[in-house]
Structure 1
C-alpha cells in the first residue's frame, strides 16, 4: 500500500508542477477563480498533512502568488512522503475540521482523501481551461503511467 500511495502522490506532484507552468503561460486567459481553486487544492493538502503531523496549517482558501507555488508544492509533497514512509497507515489521527468539530480517521483514509480531492478539482480546472480556449493537459493517471 505504501508503494502505491507514493506512486499516487508522485503522480499528483508531477501534474501540480505542470499546472503551475500552465498558469504561468496562460495567466491572462485563466480566470482568477480557477487559480483560486488550485490554491485551495494545495492548501487542503497542506492542511491534512499538518493535521497528521500536528503542525501549523494554512487557511482553506488562502491565496498564493504564482511564484510561491513551486516551494509550497515541494514542501507539501515532501511532508506527504514523510507521512507515507514513517506512519502506520492504520493509525488513527484525531483532528478538528474547519468548523472546530472533532473527528478521527486513519492515515490511509486521509491520504486517499487528499488524492481524491486533487482528482476532483483537477477535473474542474481542466474544464475551466477548455472553457477559456486553453488546450488542457491530459492528467489521467493511466496516461501518466504510460510515460512512467
Structure 2
C-alpha cells in the first residue's frame, strides 16, 4: 500500500495506529524512499551508497581513527560487510590503515584527503538533486523538524 493511500486510510480513522507507531513507520518509509533515491543518484559514480555512508560516518570527525569493529557497532551492520566496503575504500585511497597499537589483529582507519574530496563530490551531487525537497518550507519549519529528528536519533542511539 502506498504511503498516500495508507495516510488516507488513517484520515478516515480506520484502524488508526498510535502516533508513536505512525511516526516510526513513516520514518521507515522515508528511509526506503531516500535509500532508493541515493542509489539512483550515486549509481555510476566512484562513491556508491555504502561507501558514501561510511565516508559520511568519518567526515564528522575526520582526524579520528576508527576500527572496523567500531564502525560496525556504530552503524549496526555486520562486520564482514563493513570489512568488504572498507577494503574497497582502502584500494581507492579514501581511507588509510595503520597498525592498532592496542590490538595487533586490527587496524586503525583514517579518512584521507581523497576520501574528503570524494565525500564532498557525492554530497554535492545529492544536494543538487534533492534541492527541491524542502521547497515551500519555512526556515523555522526545517529547523524545528531537524530538532525533532535529532532528539529521536539521540534517544535511539542511546537506547540501542
Q: TM-score range by the shorter chain?
A: under 0.3
Q: TM-score, normalised by structure 2?
A: 0.26
Q: TM-score, normalised by structure 1?
A: 0.27
Greater C-alpha Rg: 2
Q: Which has the higher contact order (CA 8 A, sep 6+)?
A: 1
